[in-house]
Amino acid sequence: MPAAVVNEELQPKIEAAEQEQGRSLSRKEKQALKEDLIQTLLPRAFSRSQLTHGYYDAEHQWLVINTSSASKAEDILALLRKALGSLPALPWLDNHKLNNHLQLWLQHEALPGNFQPGSEVELKAPDEEGAKVRFSNHLLSADEVQTHLQDKLVTRINLQQTEGMGLTVTDDGGIKQLSYPDSLTEQNDELGWEDLVARLDADLLLMADSLNKALQAISQQVSQVTAD
């Protein structure tokens, strides 16, 4: 019996019982509800529901999906195509052009916007053996890092704004390990958490706006430099 299935079905039953009785259920009562629920669920086939967040930027025509899995992103696109009838979609960057820029960014050249190399990078040799090296919490301008550019390609690099957001760009165009400064996340503190949906919407708007500016800077830099 998948624990996720039991927990998903159990919580509404606990909330309904507590609302009906006007009090919190004891641990023993919750356990009894759980046991009854398991007996009810046993004959059924299970499907596990998952929530994946995303948003569409109409100005730049970007569909941003919050997942590290390319296959899951494709699943979301397939669902949207089924709902809309069609949805032409291409990667937001040319991977070949991006790969060239990853090399430049590690050399502190042609950086997008006000980003600077952070403290993490991964490089991989393009030959069959594919020797790989990764630096974490390291000064990326150091010689022991830069010398690897002679025989390896950057596969992922962390970029950081001064007192701003941080992110990691991968050679397939993925954006990972997003981090936001306290000055941004604290902007909605006055809203509190009484209206959870409104607070989450407000936080999403802030983060999406900051991410969009970063994506635009990266996209413009890649296009601008490769055109020169």
Taking alpha carbons only, the member of 49, 58, 56 closest to residue 80 is 56
Q: What pLDDT score was predicted for residue 227?
A: 41
What distance in Å separates the CA atoms of residue 8 and residue 10, rounded to the nearest whole number? 6
Confidence check: pLDDT of 107 > 90: yes
The alpha carbon of residue 113 and the mean position of all alpha carbons in its chain are separated, in whole angstroms, by 20
What distance in Å separates the CA atoms of residue 108 and residue 203, rounded to the nearest whole number? 32
- What is the tens place of the pLDDT at every residue in 58-75? 888 999 999 988 888 999
Of all residues in the chain, what percent carry a pLDDT higher than 70? 96
Band of pLDDT at residue 46, cut at 50, 70 and 90:
low
The alpha carbon of residue 111 and the mean position of all alpha carbons in its chain are separated, in whole angstroms, by 22
- pTM over 0.75, yes/no: no
Question: Where do the domains of the chain lie?
Answer: 3-41, 54-84, 95-227
Q: What is the mean pLDDT of residues 129-133?
A: 90
- What is the tens place of the pLDDT at every residue in 162-203? 888 999 999 999 999 999 988 887 888 888 888 888 888 898
Taking alpha carbons only, the member of 108, 138, 94, 119 closest to residue 177 is 119
Angle at 128 between CA 174 and CA 106, to 5 degrees: 45
Angle at 92 between CA 90 and CA 93, to 5 degrees: 110
Q: What pLDDT score was predicted for residue 118?
A: 94
CB 55 within 8 Å of CB 136:
no
Tokens 């590290």 belong to 68
Q: What is the mean pLDDT of residues 9-17?
A: 93
